[in-house]
Amino acid sequence: MYVLAKLTGYRVNQEGTELKVFIPNINLQESIETKKMRNAGIWLDDGRHISAEQRKKAYATIADISRHTGYLPEEAKEWLKYLHIARTGCDYFSLSTCTMDTAREFINTLMEFAIEHGVILEDLGVNRTDDVSKYLYYCIKHRVCAVCGKPLSDIHHCEGSRVGMGNNRNRVDNKGRLLISLCREHHTICHNDELKFFEKNHVYGIVYNDEIGVEVS
C-alpha cells in the first residue's frame, strides 16, 4: 500500500528517530488491526525540484531506450513513467516540475531497465545514474560489468579495509566481503590496485544482499 503522508512531528533518542505522521482522507484502522500491520517503509521528500543534471541524465537514457525499443522518445518517456509508477506506487509526475527524490528514483528505474534489457548507453552507466549504490546493485543483480556494461560479469570480492569511500559504504557482509560486478578484463585490472581502480572509475564494492540471488565463490 502506498499513501501520501505528512510529517507532523519527530523525536530523537539514543536508539533512533521517532516520527509522527498524518495520512489525510484515509481511515486505516481496519487494515492496521485486522492485518496486524506493524512495519512500514518510509519516503522522506525534501521538496527540492529536479535539477538540470538529473533532467539531462533522464532524457539521455530515455533516448537510448527509445533507440533500443523502436518507440519514439515521447512514447518511450510516457510508458517508462508508467512503468516507474507501477513499480513504486508514486503519483504521475512531470520531468519539468517533479522533486529531486522522484527524479532520482525515476532514473533508477531507467537504469535498471537499461541494464536488464541490454540497452546500449551512449555514456558509461556510472555517469548516467543519480544513485551509484543502486546502480552497482543493479549490475550485480543482472550480472553486467559496472564499468563497461558487458554481460556475463564476474562478481568480484573486494577487501573492505581498502574501499575507503566513506559514508558507511565500506561495511562488509558476514563473510567480510564487499562485492562489485566486473567483466574479466576489469576484474583483472581491479586486482592490481583496487583503490586506484575505484577512484578512476567512480565505483566501489557494496554489501552483499541475499535478495540479489547471485552465487559467489
Task: Note the pLDDT tens digit of each residue in 31-55.
Answer: 788 887 878 777 666 668 999 999 9
Give the closest residue to 126 by CA, choosing from 137, 118, 116: 137
DSSP label of 27: -
As a whole number, mean pLDDT of residues 188-203 equals: 91
pTM above 0.75? no
Give the closest residue to 175 by CA, choosing from 159, 187, 191, 188: 159
